[in-house]
Structure formats: C-alpha cells, structure tokens
C-alpha cells in the first residue's frame, strides 16, 4: 500500500474468481461467513487508506460467473473497482455482469481475453477467417460493449 500511494498506483486483490474450483478456498466458511466476504472487508479497509476520488486504489477481482456473489460483494465494496474475468469464454454473460457495476454503470473493468484474441475461432466470427483476426477481434469488442451496455 505504501508503494501504491507513493507511486500513485493501484492493485487488485483476488476476492472471488471466476474459475469453477474457486469455491474450494474462497467459499470456505470462516466464523460462519465465506472467506470471500472476509477478503472483501480487508479490501475496503485497505482501500479506505488509499482513496483516489470516488474509488480506492485497491481493487477486487470478482468473477462474472458468480452473479449472486457479485451482488453481495458490490454492496460490501461500493467504492472499489472490480476487475471482472469470466465474461465470454468462461461462460459469464452480460446479465451476470450487471451486479459488478454500481448503479451509475461505473466501477467495473471487464476482461475478455480469449473471447477477443481468438474471436475468429468462434462461430459468430468465422466468416472473418484467421487471416482477418484483427477485424474479428474488433467486432467482438464492439459486440461485447453493446452486450454489456444492454444490461446497464
């Protein structure tokens, strides 16, 4: 935190990841509550010491594939940026993402690596062909933006 504050940087803490096995650790009950809630409280505590406007410099990784947990975590961390993996290739949908954002449509950074980089391999974008993978990737990004905006 000292380095982040001194260098005007931020960091992201794994809170509830999108992979199917995340529950092996992150859902474990500690004093009757899931570990991801305890970690979220620490993110808020650390973030309160490093605010940069409305949002803190301490963000949380919150997977798109667990929307009900995202809803809980957004309530616990209203001033925290969420880095959201799991959209697209891992099965997360725009509907799943809506709880990661605040009511003003801000507060989340959605990651879709395979869904964009390898878009030309998806049925939807196959017509672009491998030789036009940049155009397929661009279209996948435009479609992703429209999809997410449709639920905000």
Q: Tell whether the model's pLDDT for residue 5 goes beyond 90.
A: no
Query: What's the pLDDT tens digit per position in 51-83?
Result: 888 999 999 999 999 999 999 999 999 999 999
Q: What is the 3-class SS of 79-108, one letter each residue?
A: CCCEEECCECCCCECHHHHHHHCCCCCCCE
Give phi and psi for 12, each to the nearest 5.
Answer: -120, 135
Rg (C-alpha) for the chain, rounded Å, is 17
Query: What's the pLDDT tens digit per position in 78-127?
Result: 999 999 999 987 888 999 999 999 999 999 999 999 899 999 999 999 99
**What are the strands, taking DSSP E only, across the chain?**
11-16, 29-30, 33-34, 51-52, 55-56, 58-62, 82-84, 108-110
Q: How confident is the model at residue 3 (pLDDT cuts 50, 70, 90)?
A: confident
Q: How confident is the model at residue 37 (pLDDT cuts 50, 70, 90)?
A: very high
Query: What's the pLDDT tens digit per position in 134-150?
Result: 999 999 999 999 999 99
Cα 61 from Cα 3, distance rounded (Å):
20
Give phi and psi for 92, each to the nearest 5.
Answer: -70, 140
Go through the domains of the chain in sequence order and give each one's CATH number. 2-111 (3.20.20.70), 113-152 (no CATH)
């Amino acid at each position: 935190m000292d380095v982040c504050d001194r260098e005007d940087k931020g960091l992201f803490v794994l809170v509830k990841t999108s992979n199917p096995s995340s529950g092996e650790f992150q859902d474990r009950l500690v004093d009757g509550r899931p570990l991801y809630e305890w970690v979220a409280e620490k993110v808020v505590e650390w973030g309160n010491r490093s605010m940069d406007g409305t949002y803190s410099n301490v963000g949380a990784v919150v997977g798109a594939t667990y929307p009900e947990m995202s809803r809980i975590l957004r309530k616990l961390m209203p001033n925290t940026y969420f880095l959201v993996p799991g959209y697209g290739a891992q099965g997360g949908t725009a509907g799943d993402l809506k709880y990661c954002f605040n009511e003003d449509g801000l507060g989340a950074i959605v990651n879709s690596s395979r869904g964009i980089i390898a878009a030309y391999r998806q049925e939807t974008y196959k017509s672009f062909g491998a030789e036009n993978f940049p155009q397929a990737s661009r279209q996948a990004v435009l479609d992703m933006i429209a999809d997410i905006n449709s639920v905000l």
